[in-house]
Amino acid sequence: MDTALKNGDFAKNSSGKIYSINAMEETLQRCKILLTVRQGSFVYNPQLGHRLHLLRTDDERLQGNALVLVQEALYSVPQVTVESVTAKVENNVIRLLVNISAYNQTEVLEVNINNEEL
């Protein structure tokens, strides 16, 4: 069991207290962190995160490359299976819909990559 996070800080309930989350919520939170943090940017664990910034909007292999990079980022979460990744380019931003399964449940995570900011 872990503590809920929101916007880089502890999430609080209506009473202003931090709260715990269940195994599935913890797994989703971990996946979101791994798909948000660029690999090498966290000094205490340089392996943490993703290399999604390597994706290019004009790459005809975008779907396949996105799948490989998402699988790589989530490899350290043994409970998770990446079922599929859908990549769409909108206004030079790559939008990924990541379909994962864990604990007999499926979830879709959305990730946006704007390589102009990197």
pLDDT digits (tens, 9 = 90+) for 70-95: 999 999 999 999 999 999 999 999 99
Residue-range definition of the domain harbouring residue 42: 2-117
pLDDT digits (tens, 9 = 90+) for 11-51: 888 888 887 878 898 899 999 999 999 998 888 888 889 99
Prediction pTM value: 0.85
Q: φ, ψ for residue 92 (rounded to 5)?
A: 65, 15
Rounded Cα distance, 44 and 107, in Å: 29
When divided into structural domains, the chain yields a total of 1
Burial of 110: CB neighbours in 10 Å, binned 0-12, 13-18, 19+: exposed
Residue 112 has pLDDT above 90, yes or no: yes
Residue 10 has pLDDT above 50, yes or no: yes
Q: What pLDDT does residue 59 have?
A: 86
The pLDDT confidence band at residue 118, using thresholds 50, 70 and 90, is very low
Q: What pLDDT does residue 1 have?
A: 67
Rounded Cα distance, 59 and 55, in Å: 8
Q: Residue 63: left if φ>0, alpha if ψ -120 to 50, beta else—which one?
A: alpha
Q: What pLDDT does residue 107 have?
A: 96
Rounded Cα distance, 87 and 112, in Å: 10
CATH value at residue 29? 3.10.450.40
Q: What pLDDT does residue 116 have?
A: 61
CB contact set of 8 (below 8 Å; sequence gap of 6+): none
